[in-house]
């Protein structure tokens, strides 16, 4: 199993997301958390998964000179892609409301990129999941914003929370990707790295 194969490795997760922390625990991957603040800006010409690939790799840059042998750094970024633009995390409740209203009754895509960096190599993979919301009422959106925490989530919602339970009609692709990490890819890529 992967857990045994990682015994001689040090996995560094560069993410403050409690959901990503829990996923690695659930995958039985031993890891430490090391988060370095960076400005998450990307060139305006980038589209779609190019954005998350770029940001996941950007988050790794601040670590690359310090990585030691047998250390694997995991960095990640998630966006909601809707009507040909990227929705990141809202900064205000009114912005969260606008985002949720724009997603209401439509299908969008959740894109997560994960970068695996060692002293000698770097590989980025991504997953894309289609998510369809039914029409949400103003009262439902207001209730969600008031009682949950949409400001720390891309697209202003968590699929695992109340809004997902009452509003999401259909998804195509990985559910865990929408929560914040394509766990099947993380497992497979780590396996590939230690077996290489």
Q: Would residue 34 show up in a list of annotated catalytic residues for this protein?
A: no
Q: Under a CB-based contact definition with an 8 Å cutoff, are residues 87 and 155 in contact?
A: yes
Distance (Å, rounded) from C-alpha 12 to C-alpha 74? 6
Closest among 194, 196, 181, 183 to 2, alpha carbons compared: 194
Choose, from 77, 84, 142, 152, the residue flagged as catalytic. Answer: 77
CB neighbour list of residue 190: distance below 8 Å, 6 or more residues apart: 2, 6, 11, 29, 72, 116
User: What one-character DSSP code corresponds to residue 161?
Assistant: S
Q: How big is the chain by its Cα radius of gyration, in Å?
A: 17
Taken as a whole, the chain contains a residue count of 196
Query: Active-site residues: which are they?
Result: 77
């Amino acid at each position: 199993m992967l857990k045994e194969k990682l015994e001689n490795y040090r996995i560094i997760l560069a993410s403050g997301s409690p959901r990503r922390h829990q996923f690695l625990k659930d995958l039985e991957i031993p890891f430490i958390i090391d988060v370095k603040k960076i400005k998450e800006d990307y060139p305006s010409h980038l589209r779609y998964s190019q954005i998350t690939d770029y940001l996941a790799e950007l988050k790794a840059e601040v670590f690359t000179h310090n990585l030691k042998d047998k250390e694997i750094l995991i960095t990640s970024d998630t966006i909601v892609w809707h009507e040909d633009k990227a929705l990141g995390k809202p900064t205000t409740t009114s912005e969260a409301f606008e985002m949720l209203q724009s997603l209401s009754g439509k299908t969008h895509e959740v894109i997560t990129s994960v970068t695996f960096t060692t002293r000698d190599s770097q590989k980025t993979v991504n997953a894309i999941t289609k998510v369809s919301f039914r029409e949400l009422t103003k009262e439902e959106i207001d209730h969600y914003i008031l009682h949950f925490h949409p400001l720390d989530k891309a697209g202003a919602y968590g699929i695992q929370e109340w809004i997902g339970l009452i509003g999401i009609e259909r998804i195509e692709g990985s559910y865990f990707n929408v929560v914040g990490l394509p766990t099947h890819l993380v497992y497979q890529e780590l396996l590939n790295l230690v077996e290489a």
